[in-house]
């Protein structure tokens, strides 16, 4: 009997629930050794797809590539899906509608203070609460992608422990949001600027030593004026990057930081597939894609579910 393996692909929507099977998804599985060799193919009304008795070769061919598509939805996929002999591998993917809108049901101002207060404290900073609340409401009403990007990044920061065996999260070091529109440093869909305590610098260096972060060479070329930058290594995709602007004077005891989420962990892929196109097209990292990639990456690593305070729904 030939060696085999089994793959189960589960599809979820932007509310982090199983997709409506009536969208009739199409799921394809490709051999890892030959990109065009398809070993699994299913097109039906379902949100869970089982591929039993797939070939197992005990080599690179077992690093499958999976693609899920559906009409009027963004494609989803993952690679490599590393398979094991005679075992079932589960892959969870998120299919998001192309005609979408953000729902900030869990992100109302009065709800932020009842959640872990790190985000609330960052948004309020040293301001009067009424001023901070009005500014936050304006962001929600006028620039939903920027708020989604902010919630993506702060949720990811809230899941990073610094130090890794401690109780503090990376977000706890962030103390004051920067809202400077003229300098293009108000929250954007792909990044935000803030002031963090200088303790963050030492914790990032320790995280590099532990192998959880890596420094980005020539950070100032990609992040104008940056002194140094550190990228998370936890996931294959959608890692947090924290960039320091230590040459810019800030409030006493605080350092200016720029924080974003990159699509790709590999620096070559990041440069070719993300930074360079964004530079020439003036595009920015899409918070919808970052949301789906980070959610999938957390599932793959058996981490707690990535659950920013919004969902993505079909606008229709």
Summarised one tens digit per residue, pLDDT across range 141-192 is 999 999 999 999 999 999 999 998 989 999 999 999 999 999 999 999 999 9
Residue 215's closest CA among 102, 206, 109, 224? 206
Q: How far apart are alpha carbons 103 and 224 in whole angstroms? A: 33
Per-residue pLDDT tens over the stretch 28-63: 999 988 878 999 999 999 999 999 999 999 999 999
Angle, helix 129-142 to helix 144-158, in steps of 10 degrees: 120
The kind and range of the H/E element at 178 are none
CA distances from 60 to 85, 171, 193, 264, 280 (A): 13, 38, 42, 21, 35
SS3 302: coil
Contact 214, 230 (CB under 8 A): yes
Residue 280 scores a pLDDT above 80:
no
Per-residue pLDDT tens over the stretch 180-232: 999 999 999 999 999 999 999 999 999 999 999 999 888 877 788 899 999 99
Structure confidence at residue 222 (pLDDT): 78
Contact 257, 193 (CB under 8 A): yes
CA distances from 11 to 16, 68, 77, 289 (A): 9, 8, 10, 15
Structure confidence at residue 264 (pLDDT): 59
Looking up tokens 């800030």 gives 250
CATH superfamily for 4-94 is: Carboxypeptidase-like, regulatory domain (2.60.40.1120)
Residue 272 scores a pLDDT above 80:
no
Residue range(s) in the chain whose domain bears CATH number 2.60.40.1120? 4-94
SS3 117: coil
Strand spans (E) along the chain: 4-12, 26-30, 38-43, 48-55, 63-69, 76-82, 88-94, 100-103, 174-177, 191-197, 213-215, 228-232, 237-245, 254-264, 311-314
What is the average pLDDT across 127-134? 94
Residue 307 scores a pLDDT above 70:
yes
Residue 135 scores a pLDDT above 90:
yes
Q: Facing residues of 264 across strands?
A: 237
Structure confidence at residue 1 (pLDDT): 45
What is the average pLDDT across 19-33? 96
Compute the Cα dihedral for 158, 163, 167, 171 and give only its sign: negative
Return mean pLDDT, the chain: 90
- Per-residue pLDDT band for 115 (boundaries 50, 70, 90) equals confident
What is the average pLDDT across 14-35? 95
Report the side by side order of strands in the sheet with 174-177: 174-177, 191-197, 254-264, 237-245, 228-232, 213-215
Q: How far apart are alpha carbons 89 and 237 in whole angstroms? A: 19
Structure confidence at residue 2 (pLDDT): 67
Q: Facing residues of 30 across strands?
A: 38, 65
Give the percent of the chain with pLDDT over 90: 79
């Amino acid at each position: 009997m030939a060696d085999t393996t089994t793959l189960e692909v589960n599809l979820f929507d932007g509310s982090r629930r199983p997709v409506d099977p009536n969208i009739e998804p199409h799921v394809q599985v490709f051999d890892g050794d030959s990109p065009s060799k398809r070993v699994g193919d299913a097109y039906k009304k379902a949100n869970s797809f089982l591929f039993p008795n797939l070939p197992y070769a005990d080599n690179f061919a077992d690093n499958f590539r999976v693609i899920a598509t559906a009409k009027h939805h963004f494609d989803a996929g993952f690679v490599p899906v590393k398979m094991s002999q005679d075992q079932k591998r589960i892959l969870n993917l998120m299919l998001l509608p192309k005609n979408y809108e953000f729902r900030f049901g869990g992100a109302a101002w009065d709800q932020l203070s009842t959640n872990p207060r790190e985000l609330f404290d960052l948004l309020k900073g040293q301001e009067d609460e009424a001023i901070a609340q009005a500014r936050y409401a304006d962001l929600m009403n006028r620039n939903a992608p920027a708020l989604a990007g902010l919630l993506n990044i702060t949720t990811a920061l809230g899941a990073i422990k610094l130090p890794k065996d401690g109780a503090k999260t990376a977000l706890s070091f962030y103390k004051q949001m920067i809202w400077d529109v003229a300098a293009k440093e108000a929250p954007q869909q792909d990044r935000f600027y803030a002031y963090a305590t200088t303790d963050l610098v030492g914790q990032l260096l320790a995280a590099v030593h532990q192998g959880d972060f890596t420094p980005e060479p020539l950070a100032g070329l990609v992040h104008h004026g940056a002194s140094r930058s550190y990228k998370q290594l936890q996931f294959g995709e959608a890692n947090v990057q924290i960039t320091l602007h230590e040459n810019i004077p800030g409030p006493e005891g605080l350092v200016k930081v720029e924080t974003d989420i990159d699509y790709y962990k590999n620096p070559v892929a990041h440069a070719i597939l993300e930074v360079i196109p964004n530079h020439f097209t003036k595009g920015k990292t899409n918070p919808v894609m970052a949301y789906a990639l980070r959610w999938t990456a957390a599932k793959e690593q058996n981490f707690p579910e990535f659950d920013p305070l919004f969902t993505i729904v079909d606008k229709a």
